[in-house]
């Protein structure tokens, strides 16, 4: 699982529904604080590649993302999140509203943590690609099983001081991939939403929830031995403003994070 931890909408559907609640019944709590409203991703040449606009429900869950793809084939799309008891169904719709994918079926446990994802898109069928996650008594995700067609992998994740520090991945072909993570003492802060940015972009909530800022990921496989480094700028509230990923001093990815505050 060579995933980087920091490493995931201009459309908002408004429905008018007549109120049926009794007088004096409290509605959803009004959001206060700051939360991510946009993630802009650039490549090594610093030109924009993808922009994620984030819109929320009244209860703070993600309603939808609008994803601007800033390079060919420029396939902008919406990603919607529909919630029911212990379950989230995602749906992807192109910007012209002419095509829709079923997307992911996400199952949650009693603590609202993601425990299972079944991926289903037009080019492969349900159950061909899946991910299962397991948590220890402290709430840390320590085991991940995943499958993509005939490829099956298992990740064992070790935690220290609130951060995942070692990821040991075994494949069904017998290959062992190791990733070692290093952090500084600065708290990971993205407002009210404590999700790794790549998790937010994909699922609207976190799977990997580091406590501190990742500074280095050392990947060791039979075919690779590389180190990715990460630099940050923070806003006046201590929230992540930019994340710059580099390999051997060469910038490979930049994420700029915008917030809405109330």
DSSP-assigned states of every residue in 237-261: TS-EEEEEEEETTEEEEEEEEEEEE
Q: Judge whether residue 116 has pLDDT over 80.
A: yes
pLDDT at 122: 53
pLDDT tens-digit profile of 164-211?
Answer: 999 999 998 889 999 999 999 999 999 876 778 889 888 999 898 899
Q: How do residues 87-103 score in pLDDT, each as one tens digit?
A: 999 998 888 777 777 78
Q: What is the pLDDT of residue 103?
A: 82
Which residue blocks in 168-256 are alpha helix, DSSP H? 197-203
| Total domain count, the chain | 1
Is 201 contained in some domain? yes
DSSP for residue 191: B
Q: What pLDDT was estimated at residue 113?
A: 94
The answer to whether 76 touches 66, Cβ cutoff 8 Å, is: yes
Specify if 28 maps to a domain: no
Exposed (0-12), middle (13-18) or buried (19+): which is 152, by Cβ within 10 Å? middle
The CATH number given to whatever domain includes residue 226 is 2.40.160.190
Quick check: 9 and 65 in contact, CB under 8 A?
yes
Is the predicted pLDDT of residue 62 greater than 90, yes or no? yes
pLDDT at 126: 52
Please indicate, yes or no, if residue 17 is contained in any of the structural domains: no
> Is residue 27 in some structural domain?
no
Provide the mean pLDDT of the chain.
84
Residue 190 lies in a domain: yes
Residue at 65 is within a domain: yes
Q: Residue 30: pLDDT above 80?
A: no
Please check whether residue 228 lies inside any domain of the structure: yes
Which residue in this structure is represented by tokens 């915008």? 258
35: left (phi over 0), alpha (psi -120 to 50) or beta: beta
Q: Which of 54-58, 124-128, 135-139 is predicted least confidently?
A: 124-128
The boundaries of the domain holding residue 175 are 35-261
The answer to whether position 78 is within a domain reads yes
Task: Look at the pTM and tell me if it is higher than 0.85.
Answer: no
Query: Does position 4 have pLDDT exceeding 70, yes or no?
Result: no
């Amino acid at each position: 699982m060579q995933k980087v931890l920091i490493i995931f909408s201009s459309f908002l559907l408004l429905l008018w529904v007549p109120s049926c609640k009794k007088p004096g019944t409290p509605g959803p709590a009004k959001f206060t604080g700051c939360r991510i409203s946009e993630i802009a991703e650039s490549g090594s040449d610093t030109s924009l590649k993808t922009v994620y606009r984030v819109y929320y429900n009244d209860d703070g869950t993600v309603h939808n993302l609008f994803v601007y793809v800033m390079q060919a084939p420029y396939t902008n799309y919406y990603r919607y999140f529909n919630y029911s008891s212990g379950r989230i169904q995602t749906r992807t719709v192109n910007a012209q509203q002419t095509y829709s994918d079923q997307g992911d079926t996400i199952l949650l446990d009693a603590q609202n943590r993601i425990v299972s994802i079944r991926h289903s898109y037009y080019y492969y069928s349900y159950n061909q690609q899946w991910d299962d996650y397991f948590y220890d008594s402290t709430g840390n995700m320590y085991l991940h099983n995943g499958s993509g067609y005939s490829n099956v992998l298992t990740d064992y994740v070790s935690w220290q001081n609130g951060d995942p520090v070692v990821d040991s991945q075994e494949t069904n072909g017998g290959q062992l991939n190791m990733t070692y993570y290093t952090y500084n003492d600065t708290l990971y802060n993205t407002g009210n939403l404590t999700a790794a940015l790549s998790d937010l972009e994909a699922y609207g909530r976190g799977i990997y929830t580091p406590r501190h800022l990742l500074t280095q990921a050392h990947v060791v496989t039979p075919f690779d031995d590389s180190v990715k480094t990460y630099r940050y700028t923070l806003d006046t509230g201590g929230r992540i403003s930019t994340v710059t990923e580099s390999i051997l001093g060469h910038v490979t990815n930049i994420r700029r994070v915008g917030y809405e505050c109330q």
